[in-house]
A and B are shown apart, each in its own frame.
Chain A
């Protein structure tokens, strides 16, 4: 038998679940979150002052995926001088692992966007 109490419980559960579902729907997707955080790191470390806001200047971001993987790009960023790039700051010890992860994901994304805009 469905009592009044049960009805309230069901109604309350329905409302609770609906708001949770709405929250999930409205929240940023993981990709977007990473993109935002990567962009923040990109700008905080003044990468844009040489590479441009969209990676369109120094460094040819459009071929980034051909030249690096998610494992090798952090090695380059941490010590560009080892790759004969003497004008890029040495980020080793200056950037956290999570910041580097967000940054690398963002750099690849910029490369993809540049390639799409070329098509």
Chain B
């Protein structure tokens, strides 16, 4: 029968209300924020930008932060392209104010109001945020104006729906950086802001960006990613379980994230980025933190 029942009407109405509630653009927060350049450490900003932003924004071909096609994202969501974050006024972030940069990094709301949910860092400290912005404004060759257009993000229906389900993360201020002597807190801070939890937890759709430990299957691996051949790659389990890194030493961990070979000397390839710019005490804190979290049995 072609009769539209009450049930159908109710479902349609609910769907309409649900989709209306989900937005893809948001108002600017109009933050009162400018960086104190005299306090900023541009060299540290470069290192932080390399390890936190460069993985997605640095293009080996141009040798600049001109953006790339993120082929590790599930194709069902569409084509995702990271932005050109050089100082170019039209193609890059040359027209962003400090407040707009801080807003997009912490909350995901871009200058034009679009939500960019892939890169939200709500817990990034004031100190690191300041250094990163100072670096993006610096005369470093990797961020000089470039009109390279990395292409456009083209989401599928599913991808659009997934974005609509995402929300801006809150703007918290001030946020202090944990002391390196507080090893567990410092290690967690790095696992959070290097976005390790994003790929190494159960699913991108089930991560908690504000309290990362509440992410489903936190650091237990099994998230579906893709290599550059389009082949599915499951993220490894990094919890202290026998199916994870229980038997790994700190040296094994360091070799894995700086040189790309695991405990068994098997190559770790794309989409896992390498972090040769991390300092030894940072790698150590990350490892100690990972050894402290709840073990999850998940043999990948």
Contact = CB atoms under 8 A, between A and B. Distances in A.
Interface of A: 45-46, 48-50, 52-53, 57-58, 60, 81, 84-90, 94
Given A50-B270, A85-B60, A90 B260 contact: yes
A50 B276 contact: no
Interface string B267-286: 11110011011000000000
Interface of B: 50, 60-61, 63, 227-229, 231, 258-261, 265, 267-270, 273-274, 276-277
Given A81-B276, A89-B259, A89-B261, A45 B60 contact: no
A94 B60 CA distance: 24
Nearest to B55: A87
A86 B50 contact: yes
13 contacts: A45-B267, A49-B227, A53-B229, A58-B228, A60-B61, A85-B60, A86-B277, A87-B273, A88-B260, A89-B260, A90-B258, A90-B260, A94-B265
A94 B261 contact: yes
A60 B60 CA distance: 11
B60 A89 contact: no
A96 to B, nearest CB: 12
Contacts of B261: 89-90, 94
A36 B202 CA distance: 38
Main secondary structure of the interface of B (DSSP, over half): loop
Contacts of B274: 86-89
A96 B228 CA distance: 26
Nearest to A87: B274
The residue in B60, B231, B265 that gathers the most chain A C-beta atoms within 10 A of its C-beta is B60
A56 to B, nearest CB: 10
Nearest to B268: A89
Contact of A49 (B61, B63, B228, B258): B228
A52 B228 contact: yes
Contact of A58 (B60, B259, B268): B60
Given A84-B63, A88-B260, A90-B260, 5 more contacts: A49-B270, A86-B50, A87-B274, A89-B267, A90-B258
